[in-house]
Structure 1
Amino acid sequence: MKIAVLIKNTTFHKDYGGLETQNKTLCDGLVSRGHQVTVFTQQKELTETTKIDNGVNYVFIAASFRYLFSSINPNSWEKKSLKVFSEYHSKEPFDVVLSQSTAGIGVIKNKKQLGVKVISIAHGTSAGELKTQIQNIKNLKDIYWAIRNTQYFLRQFFGRQREYILGSDKVIAVSHAVKTQLLDETFAPEELITVINNGIDPSSFVESAKTAQKHNDTKVHLIFTGRVIRSKGVFELVKIVWEVKDMPFTVDIVGDGEDLTELKNNITRLGLSEKFVFHGKLNRQQVTERLLQSDIYVMPTLRAEGFPMTLVEAMFASLPIIANNIGGISDAVEDAKTGYLIKVGDLSGFKAKLTTLIADTSLRATLGQNGRIKAQNEFTLETMLNKYQQEMQKVLAKGDTA
């Protein structure tokens, strides 16, 4: 199949996250199965206009991603991506288009004229993003931006989100929570939306596990991986650590973010510097090695995330997980089987489960083993690719574009 992918950013851009990582994993995997994949994305800070990486073709487009007047602004992403895609499509037609969230809106609006099928991938919803922004308010500046962005949310909620969902031939939600939210917010027919959880290639964990060794001290090692921002619950984590600071453990923080300095200052002020170790942003192999050296994975996030790939990585590392029950996290974490799900805001509940796991080596091993088995059965790259291929084949088999 010839597959086009439209996405706002890639792993070549700065400040990329889970969505971009999932997209690279998916595209590389599809190419490994013999498909031709071309990714259309913004150029932004990059200097090149095209690139080939692991057999995937990348096309970088100079465009503005501002939503206001995007349908009439010739330099908007909607217009420019449609123009560049159409040029490529006219030379060698694509069989199917994958739109990461709203990135393919220009093609979606014109898919009938282009004669191409579109599958959109939803990682979250407009209401979920607004809720996250409100929860992340910490000063007057944040209040200003929250109020200003409310108009953006309303346009997204009543406009673009429904356009890209209802205009697609198929929608893939990365978790059951995302599917439920989309059904509630867009009134889409249930059969339009299929859930496919993100998957990863577990081979790196298998290889690294052969040489990885746990820390040789008597402490239990907790680990947090991800962006160090308020909405990830990092300040709540500090509060929890304060409550159990006399227990023998440390917390490894892997990642970077805009709230890192404030977090470090907070930790120092509370006299908890010996409890936290900051590693900065690591590459994927380094993250894998760090996970394999750890004992417990903590995710006190306040964000309604679609399906965090960090959870899958922790499961392949045989780590029990303590996470807030929000967004698509419950697709991965089974309460009391692979870890513990905590109600958002219940710091006492989080502390209680953390205390239990720190004290019980056998329980940690049991929950971690259960998590690894679940990940092997449900969250491998092979499983994800199989499901994507099945959905693409179903869409193509339906005939003419509606």
Structure 2
Amino acid sequence: MAKDHSPANYKCFHFLCYLLFFLCFLYSISFIYYSHCSSPCSPQTTINSPPYNHSSTINLISFPSSWNHLSFSSNPPPRHLKIALFVKRWPRQNLAGGLERHALTLHVTLARRGHDVHVFTTNSSFPNSSLPYYSNAALTFHPISPSPGGYLNQALAWKEFQIQNSSQPFDVVHTESVGLFHGRARNLTHLAVSWHGIAYETLHSDIVQDLLREPKEPRHSAFSDKLGKVVEEVKFFRNYAHHVATSDHVGDILKRVYMIPEERVHIILNGVDEEIYKPKPSSTISFRRKFGVPESAQLVIGMAGRLVKDKGHPLMFECLKRAFMEDSKFKTSVFVLVAGDGPWASRYRDLGPNLILLGPLDQTQLSEFYNSLDIFLNPTLRAQGLDHTFIEAMLSGVPVMGTRFASITGSIIVGSEVGYTFQPTVESLKESIFKAFSDGRAVLRKKGESARNRALRLFTAKKMGAAYERLFLCISDNLYCNYPLPADREK
């Protein structure tokens, strides 16, 4: 009998294939979620306890856990590297995303340790044609005209790189994400790429956002295209010699799902400047007064970043709206400070005087902002990378509250002693906020101390810079792949 090749059967077959993939994906997400610990959980999880015997010598290339758990020499190495950095944009004051801020923090730290850093980026990063200056850090900038789409022009950047490389070859090349495309990167063995978000993570984000979609709201047109993007990444990621995962979760995904050999995947968690973000008790009262927070406030919650949909602000708006309606005490005694700007700013104003919009803040102002808080909350729906705002708050001695994504629970909020986590639903978020409210300031201060201690151990610019420095040295000279070296043992 002839087979039925009707369009209806084809559609049914394709639907079953997508359904099967979707169910497999949900299973993998559940496995990763539970294996990486949900809150509350024990602080001693396998992902945060690297299998390293401090009396033995190891090869760093095969070290399976975060390099932030290791202690490298605080003294600059005897060998100084010539480093090429490819980054799409260079930060402009407070107008920068996490990737750009990572590039700034890391490479200023490396330059201050004596390394010769060359930055290949778009000239649109410097609108006044004046290149930035950083004290005790000599960075050489190579501004490149952007592509028609506003990105780093790969052909021009590569030509400038070759000119600089011909006089004295670079010891190592670092690209922030696809600052340097894989077509050219595949020919460089002394290259490392840092990933601040991968397509596989966006699938989880898209599922969450689709579940929160209003009944009459249309599904995003790109929803079904993300599967193809994951496949494309799996294909071209292998062209980069070394991969730096900025969270424990991404390191696991790069090894298991993207099938990159373990010796080419290195986990180095993000860090921020510990000299800027630190406890400053004297600024707490003055900052609150400046923006109209009364001394009678029992809880001050803070949020920071772009006020857009995928950062969770529709979820947060609905949560606060219900909380203010359901609990009169909460409405009169809880104040929410929001640093940043975006479409949801106007919606937040509708919640009343207890919701205070601060607008974009520079780093000094952000430091004062964190110090004015009882708790910092990030309602993000994007399960990508390792958000700097969590780290900035923790270094400031503030407990944190975040969405229960694997990157957050696996690296940041590893237990209830540093903060709270919630499922990306209104009810779960509201429950966590009310829990923090009922716990009170004494409990929150204790959590803040634990959060700062964890951040000092793992998330400082010095810690991140020392780990990247060692990786770059290792890439250029195998001698530095041994750990510990005599200099590492010096106190």
Give distance in 2, aligned partners of 1:120 and 1:285: 30
Unaligned runs of 5+ in 2: 1-80, 289-293, 480-491
Q: In the alignment, which of 160, 173, 181 is matched to residue 97 of structure 1? A: 173
Give distance in 2, aligned partners of 1:397 and 1:186: 27
Q: CA deviation at 1:349?
A: 2.6
Q: In the alignment, which of 441, 453, 456 is matched to residue 361 of structure 1? A: 441
Give distance in 1, aligned partners of 2:174 and 2:442: 44
Q: CA deviation at 1:120?
A: 0.7
Describe how 1:326-345 pairs up with structure 2 within 5 A: 326-330=405-409, 331-345=411-425
Describe how 1:105-116 pairs up with structure 2 within 5 A: 105=181, 106-111=183-188
Is the aligned partner of 1:209 residue 2:280? yes
Q: What is the total number of aligned residue pairs between the two structures?
A: 376
Give distance in 1, aligned partners of 2:130 and 2:203: 34
Letter aligned with residue 418 of structure 2: T
Letter aligned with residue 211 of structure 1: S
- Local SS of the residue matching 2:284: coil
More deviation, 52-61/226-235: 52-61
More deviation, 318-327/219-228: 318-327
More deviation, 154-163/35-44: 154-163
Q: CA deviation at 1:5?
A: 0.5
Is the aligned partner of 1:304 residue 2:304? no
Give distance in 2, aligned partners of 1:141 and 1:85: 47
Letter aligned with residue 121 of structure 1: S
Change (3 A) 1:83 1:109: farther
Letter aligned with residue 458 of structure 2: E
Partner of 1:70: none
- Local SS of the residue matching 2:276: helix
Letter aligned with residue 403 of structure 2: N
- Local SS of the residue matching 1:186: coil
Change (3 A) 1:100 1:162: farther
Change (3 A) 1:136 1:63: farther
Q: In the alignment, which of 18, 26, 35 is matched to residue 98 of structure 2? A: 18
Partner of 1:171: 243
Q: CA deviation at 1:157?
A: 3.0
Partner of 2:113: 33
Asked if the contact 2:308/2:342 (under 8 Å) is kept, the reply is yes
Give distance in 1, aligned partners of 2:209 and 2:141: 34
Q: CA deviation at 1:175?
A: 0.2
Asked if the contact 1:118/1:170 (under 8 Å) is kept, the reply is yes
Partner of 1:190: 262
Describe how 1:43-192 pairs up with structure 2 within 5 A: 43-44=123-124, 46-47=126-127, 51-54=131-134, 55-64=138-147, 77-105=153-181, 106-111=183-188, 117-129=190-202, 131-132=204-205, 146=222, 150=225, 153=226, 156-159=229-232, 162-163=235-236, 165-192=237-264
Partner of 2:296: 218
Q: CA deviation at 1:121?
A: 0.5
Asked if the contact 2:301/2:375 (under 8 Å) is kept, the reply is yes
- Local SS of the residue matching 1:223: strand
Asked if the contact 1:13/1:46 (under 8 Å) is kept, the reply is no
Give distance in 2, aligned partners of 1:381 and 1:13: 18
Which structure ranks higher in relative contact order (CA pairs < 8 Å, sequence separation ≥ 6)?
2
Partner of 1:293: 372
- Local SS of the residue matching 2:357: strand
Q: CA deviation at 1:65?
A: 7.5
Q: Deviations over 1:307-346 (max 9, x none)?
A: 011001111122121111115212111231100121222x
Letter aligned with residue 187 of structure 2: N
Give distance in 2, aligned partners of 1:15 and 1:35: 26
Asked if the contact 2:421/2:432 (under 8 Å) is kept, the reply is no
Is the aligned partner of 1:199 residue 2:274? no
Partner of 2:393: 314
TM-score (norm 2): 0.70
Give distance in 1, aligned partners of 2:445 and 2:233: 46
Q: In the alignment, which of 452, 455, 460 is matched to residue 375 of structure 1? A: 455
Describe how 1:274-285 pairs up with structure 2 within 5 A: 274-285=353-364
Change (3 A) 1:15 1:285: closer
Q: CA deviation at 1:52?
A: 5.0
In our comparison, the structure showing a higher alpha carbon Rg is 2
Q: CA deviation at 1:192?
A: 1.4
TM-score (norm 1): 0.84
Is the aligned partner of 1:251 residue 2:336? yes
Letter aligned with residue 342 of structure 2: G
- Local SS of the residue matching 2:104: helix
Q: In the alignment, which of 294, 310, 314 is matched to residue 231 of structure 1? A: 310
Q: Deviations over 1:179-225 (max 9, x none)?
A: 1222344211122111111112222234x615313446121110001
- Local SS of the residue matching 2:353: helix
Change (3 A) 1:361 1:52: closer
Give distance in 2, aligned partners of 1:251 and 1:12: 27
- CA RMSD across the alignment: 2.9
Asked if the contact 1:50/1:59 (under 8 Å) is kept, the reply is no
Change (3 A) 1:334 1:154: closer
Q: CA deviation at 1:352?
A: 2.1
Give distance in 2, aligned partners of 1:327 and 1:19: 19
Give distance in 2, aligned partners of 1:130 and 1:8: 24
Change (3 A) 1:299 1:210: closer
Q: CA deviation at 1:130?
A: 5.1
Q: CA deviation at 1:289?
A: 0.2
More deviation, 276-285/238-247: 238-247
Q: CA deviation at 1:50?
A: 8.0
- Local SS of the residue matching 1:305: coil
Asked if the contact 1:102/1:161 (under 8 Å) is kept, the reply is no
